[in-house]
Chain A
Amino acid sequence: MTSGPDMPFFWAALLSYLAGTVVASLYAGLRKRPLRSAVYWLTVAGLAANTVALVVRGVQQGHPPIANLFEYLSLLAWAAVLGFVLLWRRRGLELLTVFAAPVGLCAMVVASLFPARIEEQLIPALQSYWLWVHVSLAVLGEAAFAVAFVASVIYLVGSRRGFSGLPDPELLDRVTYRAIGIGFPLFTIGALFAGAVWAQRAWGSAWSWDPKETSSLIVWLIYAIYLHARLVRGWRGAGAAGLSVAGFAMTFFTILGSRILGGLHSYG
């Protein structure tokens, strides 16, 4: 149980995201095209280092790096940044995509607060192939929610303060909806379905109203409300964006909540 060879890459990723965040702030104020290119390359460099860190860690441990909060948040940073990078060339979303670096930075900083020990031996509870299905799909869903969250925050800032030069609200609204449309099925399959199957096998009950299970259900309900209101009633605007922000706030609480509230999931 020692810090492994992945850590230099982890810190390189964190520093790249930090530098990207600084330059992104300059870009938000000055809107100079070279600054945006600089953000892009710093973000891509951070993503590359983040990828190497995860791969090295997985190889070193002999199992995918999804067994504790440090690894989970590193993976969440990777998936969320990848989501933003995929949107990079989309016209009209210049300001949204530069948020890749701050999102990656936040997740990596929080990850750095947790023990980063290399654990070659998984604890008995985690020795199941359901771990890979459950965690990897849940984290991908949450990464999509992170993209929706940033789009919603920019929407809300633009609608309240009347900033000029922000992306078209209609486009932000669509990005929010599409990101949630991608994340919601992934989260349902990974966090709820695979989680229930695994819980039944490990604990003898598919659902125990454990704090993390219940928090995940609340996340699911918030996004279900968003999608119903949006899809059927055409509800959009600040209310929908606010719901998306609430959904991601609950998502973040779900990730970290078991540290505070305990329960069956408190081994990360």
Chain B
Amino acid sequence: MNPRTVAAAVVAAAPIVLVVLPGFRRWLASMRTGIRLLALVAGVSVLGVLVGQGLPADAYVARYGHAVGTFLVISGIADIFRTPYFGVLLELLALSIIVCSLGRIRRLFRAPERGLAASAGSLLSHLSIVVILAGGLLSAVTGFRYAPPIYLAAGESLTVSEGGFTVRVDAARTEFSGSGVVSEYVSDVTVLEGGRELRSERVEVNRPLVHRGIGVYQYEMLPSATSVREVVIGVLPSGAEGRTAPAEWRGPIGREIAVAGTDLSLKVLEFLGDFTYDIENRTAALKSVRHANPAVLVQVTRAGRVIGERWLFPALRGHPDDDIPYRLALLDYAPDFENGLTRFEISRQPGTHLLYAGFAALSLGLCLIFWTRVPSARGPRDEVTR
């Protein structure tokens, strides 16, 4: 069952259950129940930390074996914070706090046990947890977040249908400090509605673009997956392995340059950051946008005649059948950070302000409890409600 449906059902049913079942209300109001619920949330959270969350099912089988991996996926432990039972647990905690807080309100106006500030702080901090949970629930039920990750290059666009607008990337680059360290990921974007340009913004990490309540967050920037600034190729005569170091050839994509000390010239035709071979179409292709398996396609010219083309990888390779009497390797390359691939997170979290209000109230409440006058910490042992 959809966790959102379960959450909505529990929220709707809660007041009725509390009125109809006074025993359940008393159970929720007891200190013991409150502590047990907190401990249960902590225990489930420990499980969530220890078992990586939200990975593909295969990853759990690979990590824990077939039986355990399958169990983790089927039982929901692999995505435990989105399971209905975790949602119900949080809602029980919220109900418990609400029921207890009703008693607190009565006591606050009658005769505060620990001073007015501490008692008010106690009430505030407890109710704030309900507000925080409500904020989280609101975001979960009415908000959204795009998945899987979206990578865009300059000139590409993303339509955000929920907001009725399109984000066009005009530039995506990594900026560096004087010492060569990454200083910022920058995307220059234009927002369009119905094909009309509305606004242009510079989006950076920690400086999102917010349009119609939907945030466009600069999450990551990758160097171009298909272009490089410079390539370094090692060239070694066949049979000379181990006897001499390879000659180094340097050049950008598209320029034919002679290899010093040989009769060869090289020209880099193509770069792929993550090379794979498409068997159906018999062509080289990009497996992902990350530089996981970099390769360059090189055209080799000897004495003015093109003698072959070859995909080069970081290891020195030769081929017994071709006409190139050299072993060639992609030794290094300078990534192209000017024409990067920007990764945006697109999300709308309508419960965020409620969440902030809850956290602010919680912080204030705790300061009132513990910092105005530290309570004596000698509550009556027979007290049933908080």
Query: Interface of A with B (CB < 8 Å)?
Result: 1, 119-121, 123-125, 127-128, 130, 174, 177-178, 181-182, 184-185, 188-189, 192-193, 196-198, 200-207, 209, 211, 214-215, 217-218, 221-222, 224-225, 228-234, 236, 257, 261
Query: Interface of B with A (CB < 8 Å)?
Result: 31, 34-35, 38-39, 41-42, 45-46, 48-49, 52-53, 81, 136, 139, 145, 177, 179, 181-185, 204-206, 208, 215, 217-219, 345-347, 349, 352, 355-356, 359-360, 362-363, 366-367, 369-371, 374-375, 377-381, 383, 386
CB of A85 to closest CB in B, whole Å: 20
Contact A121 B49 (CB under 8 A): no
Chain B residue nearest in CB terms to A122: B183
Contact A193 B374 (CB under 8 A): no
CB of A123 to closest CB in B, whole Å: 6
CB of A147 to closest CB in B, whole Å: 15
Contact A218 B370 (CB under 8 A): no
Chain B residue nearest in CB terms to A262: B52
List 7 A–B pairs whose Cβ atoms lie within 8 Å, in order of A's numbering: A121-B179, A185-B366, A193-B359, A205-B145, A218-B46, A230-B377, A234-B378
Report how far A125 CA is from B221 CA in the complex, Å.
Answer: 12
Main SS of chain B's interface residues? mixed
Report how far A123 CA is from B185 CA in the complex, Å.
Answer: 10
Report how far A197 CA is from B99 CA in the complex, Å.
Answer: 29
Chain A residue nearest in CB terms to B378: A234
When A and B form their complex, what is the total count of cross-chain residue pairs whose Cβ atoms lie within 8 Å?
141
Q: A124-B182, A200-B349, A204-B145 are in contact. Are A228 and B355 (CB under 8 A)?
A: no
Contact A209 B352 (CB under 8 A): no
Report how far A185 CA is from B181 CA in the complex, Å.
Answer: 37
**B41: A residues at CB distance < 8 A:** 221
Contact A211 B49 (CB under 8 A): yes
**B379: A residues at CB distance < 8 A:** 231-234
Report how far A214 CA is from B345 CA in the complex, Å.
Answer: 21
**A119: B residues at CB distance < 8 A:** 181
Chain A residue nearest in CB terms to B217: A204
Q: A120-B177, A228-B31 are in contact. Are A222 and B386 (CB under 8 A)?
A: no
Residue of A125, A181, A209 touching B53 (CB-CB under 8 A): A209
